[in-house]
């Protein structure tokens, strides 16, 4: 059972929009939360699906999660944290402000919002929290360790939240999409066999939600790839350009 309404935090992203369409088509009420005016997105989704849709402004780095949840019309049954920022590793390593944005957007901001969500969702039948992490968090790599470390933190956070809230009726799912063809990655040449589309990610999340899985890799190849990468001895790993 999918508990409604479904709150999508980061609903203006390509994955966020795909999730909104998927859950609305499933018959769920949807709350779109994103930066800027979300009214056009709300109208478009209602026209496409006839679902009940609320739109609200949201910034994962604003440090005011309790105030955000106070503004909602109802307690969500499902919360999906989509917000994230890849950033530029070289700039993040050179500039503190750039690093702070990547770390806050991918870890501390999402963690605080999901903590606030859990405080309100206790007692909601079928409550579910879904966090989109990354394969980049499975092992720190020189090419993206600022982003990867934040996602590693989010992965650990979701694991701990899953353990802590299982007895309180809140199921927690960790999603590791791998490469996804979105506006965030449009300037990067991605390998087709390892690259998912936003709609594919949304469908995988819906299936995981319905079957109450704990951790998913959207494309199963990533599970094997990351097992191999994690198995490389550190003395060799630090010599590689990954």
3-class SS string, 77-137: CEEEECCCCCCCHHHHHHCHHHHHHHHHHHHHHHHHHHHHHHHHHCCCCCCEEEEECCHHH
Rounded mean pLDDT of 210-230?
96
Does the residue 18 lie in any domain?
Answer: yes
Number of domains in the chain: 1
Question: Which long-range CB contacts under 8 A does 196-202 form with residues at least 24 apart?
Answer: 198/14, 198/15, 198/17, 198/18, 199/18, 199/21, 199/22, 201/15, 201/18, 201/19, 201/175, 201/177, 202/15, 202/18, 202/19, 202/21, 202/22
DSSP state at residue 61: T
Does residue 39 sit within a domain? Answer: yes
In a domain, residue 106? The reply is yes
Which whole number is the average pLDDT over 80-90? 96
pTM: 0.95
Q: What is the reported pLDDT for 186?
A: 76
- Contact predicate 86/137, CB 8 Å: no
CATH code (residue 89): 3.40.50.720
Residue 1: inside a domain: no
pLDDT tens digits, residue range 113-129? 999 999 999 999 999 99
- Which range marks the domain in which residue 33 is found? 6-237
Least confident of 3-17, 33-47, 194-208: 33-47
Residue 33 domain-assigned (yes or no): yes
Summarize pLDDT for 174-211 with one digit per residue, the tens. 999 999 998 878 777 888 899 999 999 999 999 999 99
Residue 242 belongs to some domain of the structure? no
| Catalytically annotated residues | 147
Q: Is 76 helix (H, G, I), strand (E, B) or coil?
A: coil
Residue 133 lies in a domain: yes
Residues in the chain: 242
């Amino acid at each position: 059972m999918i508990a409604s309404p479904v709150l999508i935090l980061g609903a203006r992203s390509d994955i966020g929009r795909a999730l909104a369409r998927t859950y609305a088509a499933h018959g769920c009420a949807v709350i779109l939360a994103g930066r800027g005016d979300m009214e056009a997105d709300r109208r478009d989704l209602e026209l496409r699906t006839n679902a009940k849709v609320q739109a609200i402004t949201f910034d994962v780095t604003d440090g005011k999660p309790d105030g955000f949840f106070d503004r909602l019309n109802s307690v969500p049954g499902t919360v999906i944290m989509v917000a994230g920022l890849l950033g530029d590793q070289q700039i993040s390593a050179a500039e503190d402000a750039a690093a702070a944005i990547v770390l806050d957007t991918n870890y501390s901001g999402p963690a605080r919002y999901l903590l606030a969500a859990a405080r309100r969702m206790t007692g909601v039948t079928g409550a579910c929290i879904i966090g989109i992490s990354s394969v980049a968090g499975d092992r720190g790599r020189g090419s993206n360790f600022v982003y990867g470390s934040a996602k590693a933190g989010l992965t650990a956070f979701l694991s701990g939240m899953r353990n802590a809230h299982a007895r309180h009726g809140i199921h927690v799912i960790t999603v590791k999409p791998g490469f996804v063809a979105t506006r965030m990655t449009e300037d990067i040449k991605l390998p087709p066999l390892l690259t998912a589309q936003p709609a594919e990610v949304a469908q995988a999340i819906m299936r995981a939600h319905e079957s109450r899985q704990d951790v998913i890799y959207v494309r199963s190849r990533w599970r094997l790839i990351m097992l191999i990468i994690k198995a490389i001895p550190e003395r060799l790993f630090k010599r590689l350009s990954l």
